[in-house]
């Protein structure tokens, strides 16, 4: 039988671990060590469950709840988000606790009703609405587009705890559940990767909501997200990091991604990388077809410049580069610069097509697209090295 893990006075983790998951949100987000679906049980005069789990793990969640409550019922279920990895267990849990009241944001009510054949009422919540369960009060804050229109978070002042839903999440599967005894750099790096692959298109909303939360002057000692570890030791660090992520605060970094046919585009990429590196920039260079997109987008968050190269495939951009450019456009980046490059045999337009795609993705072209016919000579590669040096000085 699965058992709950007590996190603090009256608060228990009753979620699930999906240790076999290697793709989160379909193909969008490749992950390395599985993921967690975090659900939290707060025992008071009334018992409150915050979020559920993916449907296939419903029984895990139910067993953990019953390990704490026995035959005592759940009184309230707060659904902070209607996406299936959060709401999938709702119907099975509601069937066991038919008298439990369900709460969600206005958008959450709509989306839950659209997903499930429900015959029970859901009470809609707005920002600053509250729920009292005895000695605990829960304050709700709508978090539209972080990362769905229905997201919200829940704050308990007595516990000084934020139940943050997708915000501050990551994919760390740790059986101790908290960030204690974990390396801070590792935790923040995983949170950055999650932000880059799930939340990145919504930086404006993140900034606005962080400012709103600051204006409430609330004390936060613990952050309990819907995925990954619980923040206790590094709460100030993750809050500061999210401000940097949301502002796309740049470091002196260039990310170079490419796909090559006969290594000619690769040679160009390496010459550019040498030039940027010798000019003092931090260089990240990745062949697209063999690199996880989650790693690349994590590095893009704080990059100044994104260089994209492709060989020519049937008079077109390579398939992996085309997919990357589509993903980049969806990320809605602001304040970054771009450069297209590539080699060709008889069709010279691919680098300029990449430049246009970068412009369409919101990036400012830093230099004319670099296009090379067939194999670059040593003098050509030296020229590309020098171009990188000039761009680095301008940046």
Spatial contact of 228 and 31, defined as CB atoms under 8 Å apart: no
58 backbone φψ class: left, alpha, beta (φ>0; ψ -120 to 50): alpha
Q: Tell me which residue has tokens 């915000």.
A: 167
Q: Which of 97, 136, 202, 227 is catalytic?
A: 227
367 labelled catalytic: no
194 labelled catalytic: yes
Q: Which of 9, 25, 183, 360 is catalytic?
A: 25
25 labelled catalytic: yes
147 labelled catalytic: yes
d(CA 107, CA 151): 8
Q: Which of 51, 166, 193, 355 is catalytic?
A: 166
Q: Which of 54, 83, 142, 179 is catalytic?
A: 83
175 labelled catalytic: no
Q: Which of 194, 234, 242, 258 is catalytic?
A: 194
Tokens encoding 285: 């260079």
d(CA 140, CA 130): 6
d(CA 309, CA 320): 11
Q: Which of 12, 40, 51, 81 is catalytic?
A: 81
83 labelled catalytic: yes
Buried b (16+ CB within 10 A) or exposed e, 260-299: bbeebbbbbbbbbbbbbbebebebbbbbbeebbbbbbbbb
Q: Which of 85, 179, 193, 380 is catalytic?
A: 85
Half-sphere exposure of 347 (CA within 13 A, CB side): 10
Q: Tell me which residue has tokens 């228990």.
A: 12
Cis amide bond preceding 131, omega within 30: no
Q: Among the residues of the chain, which ranges form H helices?
A: 58-69, 84-87, 90-96, 106-115, 184-194, 203-215, 235-246, 264-278, 293-300, 319-331, 350-360, 378-394
d(CA 177, CA 11): 13
Residues with catalytic annotation? Answer: 25, 81, 83, 85, 147, 166, 194, 227
């Amino acid at each position: 039988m699965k058992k709950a893990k007590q996190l603090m006075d009256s608060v228990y983790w009753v979620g699930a671990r999906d240790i076999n998951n290697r793709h989160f949100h379909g193909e969008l987000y490749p992950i390395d060590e599985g993921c967690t679906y975090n659900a939290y049980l707060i025992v008071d005069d009334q018992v409150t469950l915050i979020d559920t789990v993916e449907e296939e793990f419903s029984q895990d969640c139910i067993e953990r709840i019953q390990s704490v409550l026995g035959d005592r019922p759940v009184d309230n279920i707060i659904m902070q988000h209607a996406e299936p990895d959060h709401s999938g267990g709702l119907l099975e849990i509601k069937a066991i606790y038919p008298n439990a009241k369900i709460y969600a944001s206005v958008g959450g009510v709509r989306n839950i009703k659209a997903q499930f054949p429900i015959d029970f009422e859901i009470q809609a919540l707005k920002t600053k609405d509250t729920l009292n369960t005895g000695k605990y009060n829960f304050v709700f804050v709508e978090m539209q587009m972080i990362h769905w229109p229905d997201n919200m978070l829940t704050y308990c002042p007595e516990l000084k705890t934020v139940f943050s839903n997708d915000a501050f999440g990551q994919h760390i599967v740790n059986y101790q559940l908290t960030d204690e005894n974990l390396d801070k750099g590792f935790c923040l790096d995983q949170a950055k990767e999650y932000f880059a692959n799930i939340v990145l298109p919504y930086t404006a909303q993140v900034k606005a909501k962080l400012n709103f939360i600051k204006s409430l002057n609330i004390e936060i000692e613990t952050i309990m997200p819907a995925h990954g570890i619980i923040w206790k030791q590094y709460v100030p660090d993750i809050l500061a990091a999210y401000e940097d992520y949301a502002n796309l605060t740049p470091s002196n970094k260039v990310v170079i991604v490419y796909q090559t046919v006969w290594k000619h585009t690769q040679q160009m990429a390496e010459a550019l990388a040498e030039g940027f590196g010798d000019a003092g920039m931090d260089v990240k260079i990745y062949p697209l077809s063999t690199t996880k997109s989650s790693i690349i987008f994590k590095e893009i968050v704080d990059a100044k410049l994104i260089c994209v190269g492709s060989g020519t495939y049937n008079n077109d951009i390579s398939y992996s580069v085309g997919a990357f450019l589509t993903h980049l456009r969806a990320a809605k980046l602001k304040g970054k610069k771009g450069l297209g490059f590539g080699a060709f045999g008889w069709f010279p337009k691919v680098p300029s097509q990449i430049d246009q795609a970068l412009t369409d993705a919101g990036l400012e072209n830093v230099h004319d697209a670099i296009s090379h016919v067939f194999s670059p000579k040593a003098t050509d590669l030296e020229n590309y090295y020098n171009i990188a040096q000039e761009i680095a000085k301008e940046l």
